[in-house]
Each structure stands twice: as C-alpha cells, then as structure tokens.
C-alpha cells in the first residue's frame, strides 16, 4: 500500500536509490538531507520534482518534529550517516555527531510523534535504522553474519553505527517505538561516492593512475547491488516486524584484489587503454588501513523467508552497469 516515507540521507548513494524505487512503488517521499560532501542533489536530479526535499540536519530537533507533524509519514528510514571508514580514523567527531547524536534526535522526535498516533496510523508506523555489517567486526572463515551475531566493531565508523543500533533497540524496548534495524553488506552501483572502493578502482584505471589496494588485497567483502538493498528496505516498511533485525547480503564474496582484477578485465573489454596494456598493470598495493577487518559475509536467509526478498543482480552484471554509468557521467 503506498504511503508517505521520510527518508533521511536521501540525497546520498543508497538514499537516492531508495527514493527512486519508492517513487516507482507510488510512495510519497520526503527527503531530509544536509547535503554534506557525500550527498548531492545531482543524485536526485531526475526525480526532484516528484519529492519534497528539505535541506537540513537530523540533529535539528525542531526541523525534524515539524516535518513529522506536517507530512505524517508511515515510516522514517534513517540513512543519514557519515560512512567512510578512513575518514572516521582520521577524524571521528563527525561520526559521533551524525551517527549517534543524530540517531538519538530522530528517535526522540519519532517517539513523540508515534505516541500521538491512533488507529491504522499507529499500527503501521515504523522507524527503520539502516545499519551495516561492519558492526559485527571480522567474520571467521566459513562464518556468515546473521541477525543474532554479536557486535564487535573495529573502527570509529562501525562503533558509531553500533552505538546508534543500541539506542534504537533501547527506544523500542523502553518506549515501545516500533523500530527495525537492517544490516547490509558492501553496496555498489551508480552514483556511489568517489571515495569508495569500486569508484576508486574505475576512476584510477580510466585516468591511467595507480589503482590502490590496501595490504595484500585478500580482504573479503560480500557485494550487494544498491537497488537490491533498496528493495529490502521497502520490504521492511511493508512487512517488517518491530524489534527485529534483518540482514541483506549479495551472496557474492570476493577478495579486494580479485574484485580489482575483475573490474580491470571488464574495462579492458569496454574501453581498452590506448597503451594496449591491461588495466590490471596499474594495480598497486599500499599500506593497509588501521584496524582493517579481513572478512565480511552475510547470511540473508531470514530476510529471504520473512520479507520474500532476495538479491537479483549478479556481480558481473552490476559492475558492468556501474562502469557504463560512470563512463556516461
């Protein structure tokens, strides 16, 4: 059933994917985004006239309260976050401010809003906290993260997301806020910020510059196409159970070095270097990231059965689409 959604961070990479998909499903969309370096109206250019866009900070309590009172959303989906691990290592304060304090501000506004709802509106309301698999730390060989995995964050970024998750579950248990937490594996796709791994590989290769790979490159990541993730979030709006966590994964594990090599091979076929050399010749190993987790992997079984969700985009097809989008842009 179409409804009104408040999407924070909706001008970011995942947020803008979610906005476009929500519009296709006939939802009314309100976006709150402070448009920091990671968010851009260009990500929403083709749909900007179809949404209500508000530039503002999730820490602005009066602004958030006003948006809830005016638009009366069925769900708040919190995607507003500082997300880049390297940035969190060099300067953690923005991650504390946005990811922890910002989530608290949203929770308080949602609690007061929910307390005044009645009837169907009360039953349907959801607060969906979009978290990450990084709160679980390293996955041992053969282990997959699930909804019952313990929290073991390694970086300031993942620690800030873990803290926010704990606040969300506390507001659910203490105040009865109908909250849901989602955990996803590494997203990729069009419009991802240039600082992330896959855009860095593609941009460096096309510029003929060294392609930086941390350490030995054998860190393992599970890759999830961004639109598949967005479908999962909308499934939570429709069928998610308050107090529950859902894990969304692509079931596509790859080492970083293999990923870089595969992207280089795809680029060789799409836009070969003028030098005639393979792009893989540009790969360069650099000093590893501090506290770098070796492996992430998600078991999405619970989401598949309870939300009727599964990833539909395989890694090769998703990478090809991502590369062509970057070339066109």
Q: Mind telling me the catalytic residues?
A: 133-134, 157
Residue 273 has which token pair? 């270097």
Residue 275 has which token pair? 């030098």
Give one word for 215, left, alpha or beta, with left for phi > 0 and alpha for psi -120 to 50: left
Contact 67, 8 (CB under 8 A): no
What is the CA 249 to chain-centroid distance, rounded?
12
Contact 173, 106 (CB under 8 A): no
**Contacting residues for 326 by C-beta, under 8 A, at least 6 apart:** 190, 199, 202, 203, 206
Separation CA 238–CA 235 (nearest Å) = 5
Separation CA 57–CA 80 (nearest Å) = 9
């Amino acid at each position: 059933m179409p409804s009104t959604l408040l999407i924070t961070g909706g001008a970011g990479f995942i947020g803008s994917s979610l906005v476009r998909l929500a519009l296709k499903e006939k939802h009314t969309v309100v976006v709150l985004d402070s448009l920091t370096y990671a968010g851009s109206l260009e990500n929403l250019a083709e749909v900007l006239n179809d949404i209500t866009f508000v530039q503002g900070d999730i820490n602005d309590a009066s602004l958030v309260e006003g948006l809830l009172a005016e638009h009366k959303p069925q769900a708040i989906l919190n995607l507003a976050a500082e997300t880049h691990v390297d940035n969190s290592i060099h300067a953690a304060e923005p991650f504390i401010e946005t990811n922890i304090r910002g989530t608290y501000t949203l929770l308080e506004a949602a609690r007061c809003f929910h307390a005044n709802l009645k009837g169907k509106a009360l039953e349907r309301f959801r607060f969906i906290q979009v978290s990450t698999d990084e709160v679980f730390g390293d996955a041992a060989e053969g282990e997959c993260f699930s909804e019952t995995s313990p929290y073991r964050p390694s970086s300031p970024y993942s620690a800030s997301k873990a803290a926010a998750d704990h606040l969300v579950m506390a507001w659910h248990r203490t105040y009865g806020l109908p909250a849901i937490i989602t955990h996803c594996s590494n997203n990729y796709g069009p419009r991802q910020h240039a600082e992330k791994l896959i855009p860095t590989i593609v941009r460096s290769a096309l510029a003929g510059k060294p392609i930086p790979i941390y350490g030995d490159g054998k860190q393992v990541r599970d890759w999830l196409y961004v639109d598949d993730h967005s479908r999962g979030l909308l499934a939570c709006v429709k069928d998610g159970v308050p107090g529950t966590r859902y894990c969304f994964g692509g079931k596509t594990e790859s080492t970083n070095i293999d990923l870089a090599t595969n992207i280089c091979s795809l680029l060789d076929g799409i836009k070969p270097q003028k030098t005639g050399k393979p792009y893989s010749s540009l790969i360069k190993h650099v000093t590893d990231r501090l506290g770098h987790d070796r492996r992430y992997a998600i078991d999405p079984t619970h989401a598949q059965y309870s939300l009727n969700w599964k990833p539909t985009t395989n890694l090769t097809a998703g990478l090809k689409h991502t590369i062509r989008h970057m070339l066109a842009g």
